[in-house]
Structure 1
Amino acid sequence: MTLAMVLMVFLLGVRWILLVCSADTFIHAPKLGRFIVDVPLLRINFPTQLSVAPVGAKRLSKRPREMRCLLGAAPDECPCHLSDASFLVAKSLTKWEGIDMKPLTKLEQLRELAMDQHGLVTTEQALGEGVTHANLSMLVSRGRLQRVAHGVYRVPQVAETSADEYQLAVFWTGTPGACLSHETALSVRGLSDVIPEQIHVTVPLSRRIRRRGGEQYVVHREDLTPEDMSWWEGIPMVTVSTAIRQCIETGLPTYLIKQALRVSSGTSVLSAGERGRLEKLLSARDTGS
């Protein structure tokens, strides 16, 4: 092996080390037949099935200006906040190895969103990512997207989960601040034997929903505070205390409410003080006092 070949192998090794060290995440994904290296705001497609993709908290789709800058600006002029090593390695890989560096497609942008939302995206979210109404219509006509409700789309490439219908219920309202509530909040948490025939959601008092396709939902109106809110499977939902209080107010049978109080007592989801207040509220309802 000549000195020139040794030097070339050494330089290639240094460049790969710099790339990996500048990444936020290095993941081996055997099911995808590739390695994924997460360099902020950078995506490189490798002919050898080795790819660099934004798999971390930052989504490339949210920063198109920085991608354009990465493709053209000098490091000291680029607002991407990439390290010099990341910038130089990216530029050198593109120049020396003929690697295709490009921004995400419209469908990939939507898929990035949908992966955190049970395969669903809203029209408003799509527009915020620069995906137009025309883009959405085209993707639907080509079978790349499925329109599942007014202003809500499913990305078929994202696997379905048992929580999809609950995410859809929240998105169907088209209302910021909408969340799962009442019997639904108790049921999905396994705190009560209640089996709601419809999914219960709560929206702010000021909101009036006039959308079709809501036969499977019960919409309640209440101005909730941040303390009333929590999350379940990445979906906004009222806290256990708020759900039990709502069920007391809407007339859920006493034995189901007592079951929820018993199951949740002694856990982090319901404090002793909250249980005491709810028991008094239930007693007042049942005695009519």
Structure 2
Amino acid sequence: MAVEVKYRDIVREIALDHYGYVSTRDAVEAGVPAVELPKLAARGGLENVAYGLYRVPDVPPTRYDQFAEALLRAGEGAYLHGESVLALFGLADVNPRQIKVAIRRRARPKLPAFIELTQVRGDVRTTFYEGLESQSVADALLECRGRIETERLLDATRQARAEGLLTTAEWQRLRKGIRS
């Protein structure tokens, strides 16, 4: 019985760092046997979200939870891109119906309708915002040209600069790049 409490505590600690979610792989790396997760779920200590992905129900929700879930469902190396990066920061007044997730490898995971998966080729620079792997704000703003009107993108660029999300060089590059 004492071991179960310890496993639950370990799983909860992992979940606190990942917006309430814990993957089987993360749990195993932390010393929790994979067979323990379904047992914890059966007793109500975890909710099974998808194959190999669980949520600790008593971790308080945040506005980043669905982004975290989308990345975890898409798998290792997945990152937020395009409008989803802008939505993360409330830029350009976007509210996409789907969270746009890019992956570098070929994959066909079964995903819920709220996730749009895109395979990208080549070397892509990513960064982390709020612990979530993401395309940079500057690159996301450029990627949204043609899908979001120019004035909204320019306003978003000014807002991102004011919030410290863009360097001076990025800001200058964007002011020219968004108009072209």
Q: Fold conserved (TM > 0.5)?
A: yes
Conservation of the 8 A alpha-carbon contact between 2:150 and 2:179: no
Q: Which amino acid aligns with 1:168?
A: E
Conservation of the 8 A alpha-carbon contact between 1:169 and 1:201: yes
| CA shift digits 1:211-268 (9 cap, x unpaired) | 223321122333322xx41322x322232212212222x6333232122112223553
Q: Which residue of 2 aligns with 1:211?
A: 109
| Runs of 4+ with deviation above 6 angstroms | 101-104
The 3 A distance-change label for structure 1 pair 115 and 266 is: closer
Q: Which amino acid aligns with 1:212?
A: K
Q: Which residue of 2 aligns with 1:113?
A: 14
Q: Which residue of 1 aligns with 2:55?
A: 154
CA RMSD of aligned residues (A): 2.4
In structure 1, the gaps of 5 or more residues are 1-100, 285-289
The 3 A distance-change label for structure 1 pair 266 and 145 is: closer
Q: Give, in whole Å, the separation in 1 of the partners of 2:124 and 2:84.
A: 17
In structure 2, the gaps of 5 or more residues are none
Conservation of the 8 A alpha-carbon contact between 1:121 and 1:154: yes
Q: Which of 147, 151, 169 is 2:70 aligned to?
A: 169
Q: Which of 247, 262, 265 is 2:161 aligned to?
A: 265
**Count of matched residue pairs:** 177
Identity of aligned residues (%): 32
Q: Which of 210, 231, 238 is 2:135 aligned to?
A: 238
- The answer to whether the aligner puts 1:195 opposite 2:95 as a matched pair is yes
Q: Which amino acid aligns with 2:28?
A: L
TM-score (norm 1): 0.55
TM-score (norm 2): 0.85
Structure with higher RCO (Cα < 8 A, 6+ apart): 2
Q: Which amino acid aligns with 2:152?
A: L
Q: Which amino acid aligns with 1:242?
A: D
Q: Give, in whole Å, the separation in 2 of the partners of 1:165 and 1:102.
A: 31
Conservation of the 8 A alpha-carbon contact between 2:103 and 2:117: yes
Q: Give, in whole Å, the separation in 1 of the partners of 2:55 and 2:166.
A: 35
Q: Give, in whole Å, the separation in 2 of the partners of 1:272 and 1:161.
A: 30
Q: Which of 28, 32, 48 is 1:127 aligned to?
A: 28
Q: Which amino acid aligns with 1:179?
A: Y
The 3 A distance-change label for structure 1 pair 141 and 104 is: closer
Q: Which amino acid aligns with 1:142?
A: R
Q: Give, in whole Å, the separation in 1 of the partners of 2:112 and 2:128.
A: 24
